[in-house]
Amino acid sequence: MLVCHQISDQALKAQVNDIEWSPNTSSCFASVTNDGRVEIWDLYIDNLGPVVTYFDKNEDGTDNNTPKTIVRFSATSPVILTGNLNGEVDVYRTKGLEHVQVSDLDQQNRLMHAIKKDDFVQDKGGKAEGGADVE
């Protein structure tokens, strides 16, 4: 049975322009939106919300809302790259998302655990310890 959940938070008010699955972690993907947001999701940790939500900042400290159009994970380094509507490319180093090398079977089990998780009956006492961040 497929169960879909509508998330009624600020998180889904802008158009999602691109997503990409992590090449290293089966339950992790990144997305970029029309309001300039970069999000990193790890379904193993939380399948209803991103573990990281990030906006670039303008010089005055306000959110830069230039639409992001593409996101890519590096296959060899803990970074993601994004492109925006102005033709600029940004590189973000990820912290707290690194995972040790695991077997294909472990990756499959991690993803199956995330798919089977029912967040409406589990205690959602907050994000997992050692939460992720981008710079």
Per-residue pLDDT of the chain (135 residues; tens, 9 = 90+): 444 444 545 545 789 999 999 988 888 899 999 999 999 998 888 888 899 999 999 999 999 999 999 999 998 888 999 999 999 999 999 877 666 667 888 888 888 887 876 655 544 444 444 445 555
Q: Report if residue 135 sits inside a domain.
A: no
How far, in Å, CA of 49 to CA of 43, rounded? 8
Total count of domains within the chain: 1
Q: Report if residue 2 sits inside a domain.
A: no
User: What CATH number did the domain enclosing 35 receive?
Assistant: 2.130.10.10
Backbone φ and ψ for 111, nearest 5 degrees, come out as -70, -40
Q: Report if residue 33 sits inside a domain.
A: yes
Q: Report if residue 123 sits inside a domain.
A: no
Question: How high is the pLDDT of residue 124?
Answer: 46
Whether 134 and 38 have beta carbons less than 8 Å apart is answered as yes
How far, in Å, CA of 32 to CA of 81, rounded? 10
Q: Show the domain range for 91.
A: 10-118
Question: How high is the pLDDT of residue 105?
Answer: 87
